[in-house]
Amino acid sequence: MKSFKILVIPGDGIGPEVTREAVKIVSWISNAGLLKFELESDLAGGAAIDAFGVPVRPETIARARESDAVLFGSVGGPKWDGKVPFENRPELGVLTFRRELELFANLRPAKCFPALAGSSTLRQEVIEGLDMMIVRELTGGVYFNDPKFIESLPDGQVAATDTQRYTTSEIQRIGRVAFELARTRRNKVTSVEKRNVMKSGVLWHQVMTQLQAEEYPDVELEHHLADACGMQLVRAPKQYDVLVMDNLFGDLLSDVAAMLTGSIGMLPSAALGAPDAVTGKRNALYEPIHGSAPDIAGKDLANPIAAIGSLSMALRHSFERADIADRLDIAVGNVLASGIRTGDIRSTASEVVGTVGMGDAVLRAFQKECESL
């Protein structure tokens, strides 16, 4: 049996706690003989600053490149906010992974489990049955482009500059990811930009329109302005299937989509590079989108479902075992249906458990689902 190498980087805040629950499932899969995994661990973010003085070391990037997947926790927190130079902040750790591994495609599913249809702040009929995928361009745009600087002006004011820039090829490659995903779902792509005020939006609209006409005429394409999309996400989110957008809008709107599901603690993500032309292997990093949540770190309160869901995405996109991923997703749904909840998704009739309790419950349900494998 082929062995897959996973680099585990727990990070900061609740990162180590939620990652630990995902790793328990990885270990069980390996011990059960369903797949064979080799686990290694390293540091990034604030933990790496404390240990090595930098948010990520070149050696860690090299280990990630040699791995089949990276399971990532979270980075940052008040311990380092304003206390380290901007150029050495914890968040630079994950940005460096994205840049150095060329992880240009960020997949962020937003799915409402039936048991949580009443947990959203929106009416149940608005989000019940929600199942969308946000495809975010991850290595370009305003977060990565230069020039980026703060300067003093002659009149005594201070000005800050960030640069938004996209090329035809960058838009095409993320567009292809969205169209290919749509073909496996409901065959609809919504391209999101701000062409009414941004030149990058004008190009984005043109390239996506041409790409659909030339390569994906079988897939429905519509265009939404980013602000209108934000409104529609809280008005009628089920109209969407696959949404594709730039780095900035993807960051903002995926967090809006996260709250539709009841809690930001529910949403996983995958950051993928292009497959190697010879081996087919792709660089990949999987992480929950909820951040480090330092206010609840170390209290056994964090919801590990997003971290577990990130493992499910790794099973699909890096380990080619969608059958195991399906069983893991079913296990999560069954646990929620049984009334077991962490505090962020609690209901009046639920059994509230902590991080470890939720991880154990999902593992038990997953083991049961895997009996037929």
Residue 263: predicted pLDDT: 81
Structure tokens at 26: 């990885």
Spatial contact of 140 and 103, defined as CB atoms under 8 Å apart? no
Model pLDDT, residue 71: 98
The CA distance from 351 to 348, in Å, is 9
- Secondary element (H or E) of residue 72: strand 69-74
Q: What is the pLDDT of residues 189-239, one digit of tens each?
A: 999 999 999 999 999 999 999 999 999 999 999 999 999 999 999 999 999
Closest Cα to residue 204, out of 234, 235, 180, 172?
172
Place of tokens 């080799």: 38
Query: Which residue reads 């709107």 in tokens?
Result: 253
Asked if 81 and 45 touch (Cβ cutoff 8 Å), the reply is: no
Burial of 236 (0-12, 13-18, 19+ CB in 10 A): exposed
Residue 100's pLDDT is what? 96
Peptide bond before residue 147 is cis, with ω within 30 degrees of 0 = yes
Alpha-carbon distance 245 to 22, whole Å? Answer: 29
> Phi, psi (5° rounding) for residue 3?
-100, 135
How confident is the prediction along the chain (373 residues), in pLDDT tens digits per residue? 889 999 999 999 999 999 999 999 999 999 999 999 999 999 999 999 999 999 999 999 999 999 999 999 999 999 999 899 988 999 999 999 999 999 999 999 999 999 988 878 888 899 999 999 999 999 999 999 999 999 999 999 999 999 999 999 999 999 999 999 999 999 999 999 999 999 999 999 999 999 999 999 999 999 999 999 999 999 999 999 999 999 999 999 998 988 888 788 889 999 999 999 888 899 999 999 999 999 999 999 999 999 999 999 999 999 999 999 999 999 999 999 999 999 999 888 889 999 999 999 999 999 999 998 8
Which fold is adopted by the domain 1-104+273-373? Isopropylmalate Dehydrogenase (3.40.718)
Dihedral pair phi/psi, residue 89, rounded to 5°:
-70, 155
Check residue 290 and report its DSSP letter: S
Contact 37, 29 (CB under 8 A): yes
Candidates 359, 354, 330, 361; CA nearest to 115 is 330
Q: State the residue for tokens 């404390």.
A: 50
How would DSSP label each residue in 89-147? -TTHHHHHHHHHTT--EEEEEEE--GGGTTTSSS-HHHHTT-EEEEEEE-SSGGGT-S-
Tokens 């490659």: give the residue: 173
Q: Where are the alpha helices (DSSP H) in the chain?
A: 15-31, 46-52, 58-66, 92-100, 124-127, 168-183, 199-215, 226-235, 247-260, 305-317, 322-337, 355-369
Spans of all domains in the chain: 1-104+273-373
| β-pair partners for 245 | 136, 192
The pTM score is 0.94
d(CA 328, CA 309): 8
Q: How far apart are CA 238 and CA 28, in angstroms?
A: 35
Q: What are the residue numbers of the active site?
A: 143, 194, 227, 251, 255
